[in-house]
Structure 1
Amino acid sequence: MNLLEKVREAGVVGAGGAGFPTHVKLNAQAEYILLNGAECEPLLRVDQQLMAIYPDEIIKGFEAAGRLVGAQKAIMGVKGKHKEVIKILRERINALQLQDFVSVHELEDVYPAGDEQVLVYEITRRVVPEAGIPLNVGCVVVNSETALNIYKASQGQAVTETYITIAGDVPQALTCKVPVGTPIIDVLKTSGIENFDGYTIIDGGPMMGPLLENINGVVTKKDKGYIILDKDHALVVKKGATFNQAERGNKASCEQCRMCTDLCPRYLLGHNLQPHKVIRGLNYAIPELAKGGNPQLCCQCNLCQLFSCPAGIYPKTANMIARKTLEEEGYRYKPTETEFNARNSREYRLVPSKRLVARLGLSSYDKPAPMTDILFKPDIVRIATRQHVGAPAIPIVQVGDKVKEGQLIGNIPENSLGATIHSSINGTVTEVSDTFIVIRRD
């Protein structure tokens, strides 16, 4: 079994993002393979710690992935402020005698440095085309935990656990390893909080993470963090606004200052995304103007909505509303250009992470979240059949079956984009549905 088959069999997906199946991403040829170690979402601390704790495994997994795609160079993007992590990585690259292939590129401490297209530009100075992917400019991108999982897959280990940061308005921020399918409430309680009635949880980072609708859900492969905040925190209130509330706010308060556009990371890369035009088109019922703002190019980094806008309105939500309308009409954006260049003003408009954290009202929570040795042993796990981009996994077990940790329990549908799923504990299958496989620990 070659590495690509092992990665597919192990169910490796993008850790911390949308969960794109890694075996599909690596089934390509590229000039560069890039490691996304930026972890630019405020308060999250997973990747920076994994790179310090498991440098050899991450480097080996990254190198193997680079060889697989035929890359000429494998470059690890890490923020320059993580000096100790960079020192460790460079020492281990040399010790493994991989310095001719693998290197470390120091990134600025800005948001969103971890956006794939921003990362590609920062490292290679190539601009991914509108509506394109890094492969369009000869790059494949994986993040630190994904590289670790690629290494584990090469050793025959399936993805049965993930690393999660718990931060925010908590007695103690921390990072821990969690079996896939563990109840979220069990993970949240490690923060020292038992009753969450007065709190709201952000599922992921404070910029792109949505409000967690169901505190009784379960952990998936792609979960990266939970931010616990008072339910009246300004960030929670802003994220909780409905489409109707956002539309009213945009109509009442938009100044057409175009700061949402001028600081947009994709606009600064040369793309023709212009949220201020989208808002103007929606406010005045001019569909062609809203379409002309090209909302389908939005990566939903939320910078416009949570930092750039001086009036505190909802440019990103306007993009989402316009995008939804255009999709319902069957409209699909088609680029008119083939080559793109970053705008001359870009270097002066990058947003420092510290300023962003302050604007979000999170400065007092911007603390270390050290890796802990907490051992989770849930009595029951609920393994979601869809923890990735693509079709849900097809269950291959039945109620009453005995399964072991790492055993395949759901396969990729034939001729479909998807990922396999595995049991995260030794136990007995108690329920099988199209959405979950429930396993009770023996």
Structure 2
Amino acid sequence: MTPFLQQLQDAGVVGAGGAGFPVYMKLNCSVDILIANGAECEPLLNKDQMLMQHESDALIKGMEIAMDYIGATQGIIGIKKKNRRTIETLKPLLPKSISILEMEDTYPAGDEAELIYRATGMRIPAGGLPKDIGVVVNNVESIINVYWASTNKPVIETMVTVHGEVTQPYTAKLPIGMSYADAIAIAGGVTCDDFVIVEGGPMMGSVTTDINKPLTKMSSGLLVLKADSRVAEIKQRTDAQVIKMARSACDQCGQCSALCPRALLGYPVDPRKTMRVALVADSEHALAGQACCGCNLCTMWSCPEGVDPQRVCSLAKRGLAEQKLSRTAEQLQAQTKEVHPLKPYRGVSTSRLMRRLEVLDYYGRTVEYKADIVMPKHVAIPLQQHIGRAAQAIVSVGQNVNKGDVVAQACSDSLSVAMHASVSGKVVKVDHQVVIESLC
């Protein structure tokens, strides 16, 4: 591993906009184009906008550092054109090698395949990776963290939007390991009796009722919703309920497939066909869902019957993997079609989507940016915050640590990154996470 990639691994830099893929491995390539994903297409989140506005210099420098290493001659920052303040903040700082792609306010503008197509006109090969066509995509927060890593500052905070049923929505950089309860307390607490927390955005986020869960490097939003809200109800369905609804209500209208963003790009995905696995466990039907990216538009927007095509696709993909029946990348590529001629006319506007999700009322509220927050009394830093092997704890109970100290090192023989103390204090527990009692 080169010194630069080692620096990223040691600093704990992972993808902040998705599944947490270690960035040192993502940048271990040679490509022509680096894309910074600032599209932020999940409704109600604005953490990427705050990062680009308040750490604009770090973003540009991070892009230049990454571009120099991977040999890219072109850098592109994808931002929705509605975010004028962000665009105007960045414009004066742009070198000739970096430009801004102003995007429409549609969902899922931030999907990697969608963003690459809009920025370059190229498509990632089905079952392949962006680097196969000479492109690397990283969330803007990941690229900012690349810059800070180059100055020997590890990842100990994450930018998070706290919104929904709270007294005062806000966006702030919060210490990794802070509990959801502490993050929500900064927003003045919850304003309803029975609630759930959506981790991430209302489209692709997951639901929990555990307020003691800790923030991780991948945390982007905590959306507090009433337990009987439409989003909460859909996300809390069991697999059995999803299958039962598919069997009783799906009339094969085809709206899920007609509006599927990946299908419109020509990828071999057909949610309508996959829905038939609820009736007949046929591998051919299941294979029609293998290329699903999980954007959830079919479930949350397209389906007139209120069933859950995305979950059925997810279950089908799981079954294919377990039975080792998934198509190879070559087989998927052989089934790829041309981009649908009506694709430009089938985008779903964010405002209309929020109305369907029944979260539009939250959109009009002011989301305050908080530069200073009160440090929590303790943090719980999970050792598994990324794709790959969990980090290995190197501290013990009773040990004092300073903010930024390494508390868990990367596994040397596999994909892994280090973890660091987000507060100064005493280690009080070490198991699957390192719990630190703050000195504050």
Amino acid at match of 1:70: G
SS in 2 for 1:20: coil
Aligned to 2:199: 203
Say yes or no: does 1:323 pair with 2:317: yes
Partner amino acid for 2:415? L
Asked whether the 8 Å contact 2:177–2:380 carries over to 1, the reply is yes
Match of 1:80 in 2: 81
Mapped partners of 2:417, 2:191: distance in 1: 35
Over the aligned positions, Cα root-mean-square deviation in angstroms equals 1.6
Aligned residue number for residue 351 of structure 1: 348
Residue 291 of structure 1 corresponds to 286
Q: CA deviation at 1:184?
A: 1.2
Task: Kindly state the Cα deviation for residue 64 of structure 1 after the two structures are TM-superposed.
Answer: 0.9
In the alignment, residue 317 of structure 1 is paired with which amino acid? R
For residue 51 of structure 1, report the CA deviation from its aligned partner. Answer: 0.8
User: Which stretch shows the higher mean deviation, 364-373 or 210-219?
Assistant: 364-373
Give CA-to-partner distance per residue, 1:222-264, whole Å, 9 cap, x none: 1000111111111111111111111111111111111111111
Deviation of the 1:84 alpha carbon:
1.9
Letter of the 1:403 partner, please give it: V
Check the 8 A contact 1:277/1:292 in 2, yes or no.
no
1:304 to 278, 283, 298: 298
Determine if contact 1:129/1:340 at 8 Å carries over to the other structure.
Answer: no
Query: 1:44 is paired with a residue of what secondary structure?
Result: coil
User: C-alpha separation between the residues in 2 aligned to 1:19 and 1:376?
Assistant: 27
Per the normalisation by structure 2, the TM-score is: 0.95
Q: Which ranges in structure 2 are unaligned for 5 or more consecutive residues?
A: none
Q: Which residue pairs with 1:373 in the alignment?
A: 371
Question: Helix, strand or coil: the match of 1:301?
Answer: coil
Match of 1:388 among 386, 389, 392: 386
- Give how far 1:427 is off: 1.5
Q: Hey, what's the Cα distance between the residues in 2 that align with 1:123 and 1:18?
A: 22
Kindly state the Cα deviation for residue 195 of structure 1 after the two structures are TM-superposed: 7.5
Do residues 264 (structure 1) and 266 (structure 2) align? no
TM-score after normalising by structure 1 = 0.95
Q: Does 1:417 align with 2:411?
A: no
2:123 is aligned, of 124, 127, 137, to 127
4+ residue runs over 3 A deviation: 194-197, 338-341
SS of alignment partner, residue 173 of structure 2: strand
Sequence identity, in percent?
A: 36
| Residue of 371, 382, 405 corresponding to 2:403 | 405
The answer to whether the 8 Å contact 2:163/2:169 transfers is yes
Amino acid of the structure 2 residue aligned with 1:29: S
Distance 2:427 2:165 in 1: 37
Is residue 64 from structure 1 mapped to residue 65 from structure 2 by the alignment? Answer: yes
C-alpha contact (below 8 Å) 1:427/1:439 kept by paired residues: yes
Query: For 1:190, which of 139, 164, 186 is the aligned residue?
Result: 186
Aligned length: 434
- 8 Å CA contact 1:280, 1:289 repeated in 2: no
Structure 2 residue matching 1:235: 3-state secondary structure: helix
Residue 195 and residue 174 in structure 1: after superposition, are their counterparts in 2 closer, same or farther (change >3 A)? closer
C-alpha distance after superposition, 1:79-102 (max 9, x if no partner): 111112111111111xxxx22x11
In structure 2, what residue type is equivalent to 1:439?
A: I
SS of equivalent residue, structure 1 residue 371: strand
Q: CA deviation at 1:281?
A: 3.2
Amino acid paired to 1:17 = G
**What is the CA-CA distance between 1:171 and the residue it aligns to?**
2.5
Residue 432 of structure 1 deviates from its aligned partner by 1.4
Q: Is the 8 A contact 1:39 1:45 kept in 2?
A: yes
Q: Which is further off, 162-171 or 340-349?
A: 340-349
**1:33·1:140 contact (CA, 8 Å) conserved in 2?**
yes
Aligned counterpart, 1:141: 137
2:358 is aligned to 361
Q: Distance in 2 between matches of 1:436 and 1:351?
A: 40
What residue identity is the alignment partner of 1:10?
A
Using the TM superposition, give the Cα deviation of residue 25 of structure 1 relative to its aligned residue in structure 2, in angstroms. Answer: 0.4
Of the structure 1 ranges 332-341 and 255-264, higher mean CA displacement relative to structure 2 is found in 332-341
Decide whether the 8 Å contact of 1:282 with 1:290 is kept in 2. no
Distance change >3 Å, CA 427–CA 292, structure 1 → 2: closer
Deviation at 1:63, TM superposition (A): 1.5
